A and B are shown apart, each in its own frame.
Chain A
Amino acid sequence: MDKTIKINLGGTLFQIDEEAYKMLRKYLQDIDNRLRNTLGGAETVEDIELRIAEIFQSQGGSAGVISKENIEAMISIIGKPEDFETGSDEKETKAPYYHSTTRKKMYRNPDDTIISGVCGGIGAYLNIEAVWVRLLFILFTCFFGIGFFVYVALWIALPSAHSDPQKREMYGRDDYHTAAQKIKSGYSLKSGDSGYTPSGQAGSHVGNAFNEVFRALGKVLFIIVRIFLILVGITFVLCGFMALVSFIMVFFFKYPGYFSTHSFGVNLFYLPDFLNYIVNPVIAPWILVLSFIVILIPLLALIYWGVKMIFWFKAKDGIVSLIGLIIWVVSVAVLSLLLFNEGISYSETAKIVSEEIIDKAPSDLYIMSGNKIADLHFDKEISFNEEDYNVYFIDDNKGLFLSSGLNINNSDDKSVKVTVRKRSAGRSKSDATRKAEGLVYNYHIAGDTLYLDEYFTIPVGTRWSFDDVRVNLYIPDGTEVHFDKTTENMFRRQHYYNEDWNWSWDGEDKEMVRSDSGDNHWIMTEDGLRRRSESSEK
């Protein structure tokens, strides 16, 4: 097989056999001779070279070896230089000469790069050696790091000049590659007006020395940055993955795992089910799906970025990222809108208070439980610990049961007074009042015994709106109060967070009544209700 030669034609590499190479060289030489002395001849020769490269590629692709037949076919298309009909005689043309119509644009220069090619690009744009630009950047980094920030900003802002047209724009001339590429191609075409050398190829001695130093520094910097990025990437992937797993566990399997769902003082465990009671049931699934998207997309993005940082690969993910971002933003917007709209349904609150007075106050008052939460057989429970507010669901009838509170205060007169305060929220004052009236709470008085329900009910079909029912009991000084376990619990729950309440509490679990002591015997004093044993000590 004949010897083959590698040539670079119009920026493309071709394999060509020796005989064909000689033909091509002669042909190009002829064209050059014919056009050299015409106006813009060098440019025309380059155009023809580009066209030849195109013809070669269409003939057999750049992979195959170009043969004599290829050359002949090409010449029959382009024509022999002596057949070029160029119209009137070139030399008579006195048209003004435009050097180049290519607009100059700033790019990052991938051919002259230490970190990202920003300095190389600026150098090419300003037509100076990149090394001086680099020195300037380092100099300005010493002043409060200005150089560094400008560099990063330019890195982000400037695209890299990958393609040939971009490089032409970067250098602001079409023949930028003549010097570099024609040396490679093995033959030199005498293109008259090409005296330009790309920076970095051959510069001054000082510039070269600096360049070496920069190159070494750049490598070290690059390695440090890579290690840092890998660490950050690993953190991203781990965090993202863990969050994703726990999110899916809680969201789909209602499995809290190691991540406590009580973390915000709210048991989030059944929040998805609970949603039906808070918002319009029609839009509840939408809110769920949107919340899912709003949480999922950033987690996936976090994991993806992490992987990208670790393995440092380039992917055409711009469109996917953009779509993801758009979906996320839209989801957030729609979700906010929905929640805002739902929130309006709770903008007004209203309280209604009913009152009952027992004229003949007993000296011993028994407070007993009516209906107890323990008897409810509820399916789900949500606790708002801070508020000491518990909501219980029974799936069958979709009703809601909520714990009610009990306050006991010193009454001003000798009577015993029971008030029940119902609070609800709604779109308007009247709506809230109507809902408050709808809350079902039962109690009754029989002789010296007050029977209280431990919970109140929100009727089926009414939305939960942080409703609250509180029983206030006013009793005169010296009245002795006997609780049962449940009612004592109701009372104590109300005062659990009251720091002024000076009574001994040694249990961790506030639900637990100290049944061992059997001391459910309290007395009303000037300071409020006290355990009988404590008040006698005083």
Chain B
Amino acid sequence: MDLENTKAQMRKGILEYCILSVLSKNSCYASDIIKELKEARVIVVEGTLYPLLTRQKNAGLLSYRWEESQQGPPRKYYELTSEGKEYLADLDKSWDELVESVNLIRTR
């Protein structure tokens, strides 16, 4: 078994959940999300985020608006749609259940 690979697989599973959680606080531009995810050590490279954002947007969980940036190209600001909020609430619940289950198994 490859430890790194297992870790990566675990991260992958929760990445979408993390993105939605970051956005639940306020609308963010991609780099803001990346910063938070990097601080939380959920992702390693930025490239991971963009396909996920596109996918979540296409699934109707996110919407975005363009905003001019003082320096550099314009930025996409993402925010949760109402559908996205419901989706996140579901995930929150299942996450809690998951943590509970894992803890239960580990402490037994």
| Residues of A in contact with B (beta carbons under 8 Å apart) | 10-12, 31, 35, 38-41, 43-44, 47-48, 50-51, 53-54, 57-58, 77-81, 83-88, 90, 93, 95-98, 101-102, 163-165, 168-169
Determine how close the nearest CB of chain B comes to the CB of A58; give it in whole angstroms.
7
Known: A44-B50, A164-B68. 8 other contacts (CB 8 A): A40-B57, A54-B69, A79-B45, A80-B45, A84-B51, A85-B8, A87-B13, A96-B58
Cα distance, A86 to B47, chains bound together (Å): 9
Known contacts A40-B55, A78-B47, A98-B57: A51-B30 contact under CB 8 Å: yes
Cα distance, A33 to B7, chains bound together (Å): 25
Determine how close the nearest CB of chain B comes to the CB of A10; give it in whole angstroms.
4
Within 47-71 of B, Cβ neighbours of A (below 8 Å) are at 47-48, 50-55, 57-60, 63-69, 71
- Contact between chains at A81 and B57 (CB < 8 Å): no
Return chain A residues, CB-CB under 8 Å to B75.
50
Return chain A residues, CB-CB under 8 Å to B60.
95-96, 98
The 8 lowest CB-CB distance pairs between A and B, nearest first, are A79-B45, A165-B66, A95-B59, A79-B47, A40-B54, A44-B54, A10-B73, A54-B72
B85 contacts the other chain (CB 8 A): no
Return chain B residues, CB-CB under 8 Å to A163.
68, 74
- Contact between chains at A95 and B55 (CB < 8 Å): yes
Cα distance, A246 to B66, chains bound together (Å): 52
Contact partner of A78 (CB less than 8 A), chosen from B13, B46, B64, B65, is B46
Determine how close the nearest CB of chain A comes to the CB of B40; give it in whole angstroms.
14
- Contact between chains at B47 and A164 (CB < 8 Å): no
11 pairs of residues in contact across A and B, judged by CB atoms under 8 Å: A39-B54, A44-B51, A79-B45, A83-B44, A85-B8, A85-B11, A86-B52, A87-B12, A95-B59, A98-B60, A164-B74
Contact partner of A84 (CB less than 8 A), chosen from B45, B54, B58, B74, is B45
Return chain A residues, CB-CB under 8 Å to B15.
85, 87
Cα distance, A465 to B52, chains bound together (Å): 82
- Contact between chains at A101 and B54 (CB < 8 Å): no
Most chain A CB within 10 A, of B44, B54, B64, is at B54
Determine how close the nearest CB of chain A comes to the CB of B98; give it in whole angstroms.
16
Cα distance, A58 to B70, chains bound together (Å): 12
B82 contacts the other chain (CB 8 A): no
Determine how close the nearest CB of chain A comes to the CB of B37; give it in whole angstroms.
11
- Contact between chains at A48 and B50 (CB < 8 Å): yes
Determine how close the nearest CB of chain A comes to the CB of B49; give it in whole angstroms.
9
Known contacts A40-B58, A44-B54, A95-B60: A85-B12 contact under CB 8 Å: yes
- Contact between chains at B47 and A47 (CB < 8 Å): no
- Contact between chains at B72 and A58 (CB < 8 Å): yes
Return chain B residues, CB-CB under 8 Å to A11.
73-74
Return chain A residues, CB-CB under 8 Å to B13.
87
Return chain B residues, CB-CB under 8 Å to A84.
45, 47-48, 51
- Contact between chains at B50 and A85 (CB < 8 Å): no
Cα distance, A50 to B64, chains bound together (Å): 15
- Contact between chains at A83 and B48 (CB < 8 Å): yes
Determine how close the nearest CB of chain B comes to the CB of A193; give it in whole angstroms.
12
Residue of A nearest to B43 (CB): A85
Cα distance, A87 to B13, chains bound together (Å): 6
Determine how close the nearest CB of chain A comes to the CB of B29; give it in whole angstroms.
10
Return chain B residues, CB-CB under 8 Å to A58.
71-72
- Contact between chains at B54 and A43 (CB < 8 Å): yes
- Contact between chains at B45 and A101 (CB < 8 Å): no
Return chain B residues, CB-CB under 8 Å to A97.
58
Cα distance, A87 to B76, chains bound together (Å): 22
Known contacts A87-B16, A165-B67: A47-B72 contact under CB 8 Å: no
Return chain A residues, CB-CB under 8 Å to B43.
85
Contact partner of B47 (CB less than 8 A), chosen from A57, A83, A168, A169, is A83
B31 contacts the other chain (CB 8 A): yes
Cα distance, A41 to B55, chains bound together (Å): 9
Return chain B residues, CB-CB under 8 Å to A39.
54-55, 58
- Contact between chains at A50 and B73 (CB < 8 Å): yes
- Contact between chains at B58 and A95 (CB < 8 Å): yes
Contact partner of B51 (CB less than 8 A), chosen from A77, A86, A98, is A86
Determine how close the nearest CB of chain B comes to the CB of A97; give it in whole angstroms.
6
Return chain B residues, CB-CB under 8 Å to A90.
51, 55
Within 20-53 of B, Cβ neighbours of A (below 8 Å) are at 30-31, 43-48, 50-53
Return chain A residues, CB-CB under 8 Å to B52.
86-87
Return chain B residues, CB-CB under 8 Å to A51.
30-31, 46, 50
Return chain A residues, CB-CB under 8 Å to B68.
163-165
Return chain B residues, CB-CB under 8 Å to A81.
47
Return chain A residues, CB-CB under 8 Å to B11.
85
Determine how close the nearest CB of chain B comes to the CB of A267; give it in whole angstroms.
59
Residue of B nearest to A96 (CB): B60
Return chain B residues, CB-CB under 8 Å to A168.
66
Determine how close the nearest CB of chain A comes to the CB of B30; give it in whole angstroms.
7
Known contacts A78-B47, A87-B12, A165-B66: A47-B53 contact under CB 8 Å: yes
Known contacts A51-B31, A101-B63: A79-B54 contact under CB 8 Å: no
Return chain B residues, CB-CB under 8 Å to A35.
51
Residue of B nearest to A10 (CB): B73
- Contact between chains at B72 and A86 (CB < 8 Å): no
Determine how close the nearest CB of chain B comes to the CB of A30; give it in whole angstroms.
10
Determine how close the nearest CB of chain A comes to the CB of B14; give it in whole angstroms.
9
Cα distance, A164 to B66, chains bound together (Å): 9
